[in-house]
C-alpha cells in the first residue's frame, strides 16, 4: 500500500513538473531579458544576468553562451550539455528562471515625440500606454494611427482612431499590443488656402470640414475678396489635377488648395 502511494505521488509530481516545463518552453528568450541560471547542488554557479544584444550570457566555467532565440528548455539543455562536454559536471541539473522580460517590444514610428522601441509590460500594454511612453502624438500627427502586426499570412494592418478612446470613452479601441507590433503615426492631413484671406497657408484638416469653416480658420475673407467664384484645386485618384467651382457649404478634402478670388469691382 505504501509503495503504491509513493508511486502515485511520484507520477503526480512528474506530471506537474512536465507541465511546468512545457509551459516554460513556450517562452522564447531574447536580448534584454534578465535570467537566473542555477545548477542543482552547485550554488556557486548560480548566475543572475541579462541577455546581451547578441543573445549571449556569461556563465561560470563555460564562458559566453548564446541563448537568445531559444526557449527556456532549449537553453537549459544547451548549458547542461556544455558543462558535461567540458567535463565540469557529470549530470548537471540546470534551471533557468526569467526575472524580467524585456525582449517583447513594440516599435513606435512617425509623428510622436520619441520614436523608438518600447518594452511591453508583463501585465499587458495598451495602445495609449505605448503612445505615452513615446511622448504622445506630435502636434502635426494624425489622430488615426495604424498598428501593423505580423501573422502567418503576412502583415495585418489595423487603424485606430484615438479620439474614440478619449472623447467617446471607447475602451475597445484601446487595443492591447503584442510582441513585434509596429505603431505608425502618420502626419495629419492638411489643406491649403490662398488668395484674399487674412492668414493664407496650410491648415490641419478637421473631420467634415467645409469651405466656410476653412475660410474662418484662415481669418476670413479680406475686404478685397469675395465668396463668389471660389475655386478648389483637387488631385484625383489617377493623379490628375482638377479645378472645381465651390460654394461655402462644400466639403474640403485632404491636400485641397482653396483659392479665394479678389472682387472685380
pLDDT value at residue 14: 34
CA distance 114 to 135: 6
CA distance 73 to 91: 16
- Per-residue confidence band for 152, with pLDDT thresholds at 50, 70 and 90: confident
pLDDT value at residue 256: 96
- Per-residue confidence band for 177, with pLDDT thresholds at 50, 70 and 90: very high
CA distance 260 to 229: 8
pLDDT value at residue 33: 87
Which pLDDT tens digit goes with each residue over 242-262?
999 999 999 999 999 999 999
Does residue 221 sit in helix, strand or coil? strand
One DSSP character per residue, 102-156 reads -S-EEEEEESBSS-EEEEPPTT--BHHHHHHHTT-B-TTEEEEEEEEEEETTEEE
Of 102, 115, 261, 145, the closest CA to residue 194 belongs to 261
| Residue corresponding to grid cell 491648415 | 203
CA distance 165 to 129: 12
Amino acid at each position: 500500500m505504501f509503495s503504491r502511494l509513493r508511486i502515485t505521488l511520484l507520477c503526480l509530481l512528474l506530471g506537474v513538473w512536465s507541465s511546468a516545463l512545457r509551459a516554460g518552453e513556450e517562452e522564447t528568450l531574447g536580448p534584454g531579458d534578465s535570467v537566473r541560471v542555477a545548477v542543482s547542488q552547485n550554488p556557486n554557479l548560480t548566475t543572475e544576468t541579462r541577455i546581451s544584444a547578441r543573445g549571449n550570457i556569461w556563465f561560470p566555467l563555460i564562458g559566453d553562451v548564446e541563448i537568445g532565440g531559444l526557449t527556456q528548455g532549449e537553453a537549459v539543455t544547451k548549458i547542461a550539455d556544455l558543462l558535461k562536454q567540458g567535463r565540469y559536471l557529470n549530470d548537471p541539473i540546470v534551471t533557468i528562471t526569467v526575472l524580467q522580460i524585456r525582449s517583447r517590444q513594440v516599435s513606435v514610428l512617425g509623428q510622436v515625440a520619441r520614436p523608438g522601441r518600447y518594452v511591453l509590460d508583463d501585465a499587458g500594454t495598451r495602445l495609449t500606454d505605448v503612445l505615452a511612453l513615446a511622448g504622445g502624438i506630435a502636434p502635426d500627427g494624425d489622430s488615426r494611427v495604424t498598428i501593423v502586426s505580423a501573422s502567418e499570412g503576412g502583415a495585418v494592418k489595423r487603424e485606430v482612431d484615438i479620439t474614440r478612446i478619449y472623447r467617446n470613452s471607447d475602451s475597445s479601441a484601446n487595443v492591447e499590443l503584442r510582441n513585434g507590433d509596429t505603431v505608425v503615426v502618420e502626419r495629419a492631413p492638411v489643406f491649403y488656402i490662398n488668395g484674399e484671406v487674412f492668414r493664407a497657408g496650410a491648415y490641419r484638416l478637421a473631420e467634415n470640414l467645409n469651405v466656410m469653416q476653412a475660410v474662418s480658420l484662415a481669418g476670413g475673407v479680406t475686404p478685397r475678396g469675395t465668396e463668389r467664384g471660389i475655386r478648389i484645386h483637387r488631385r484625383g485618384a489617377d493623379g490628375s489635377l482638377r479645378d472645381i467651382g465651390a460654394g461655402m457649404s462644400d466639403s474640403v478634402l485632404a491636400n485641397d488648395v482653396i483659392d479665394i478670388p479678389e472682387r472685380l469691382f
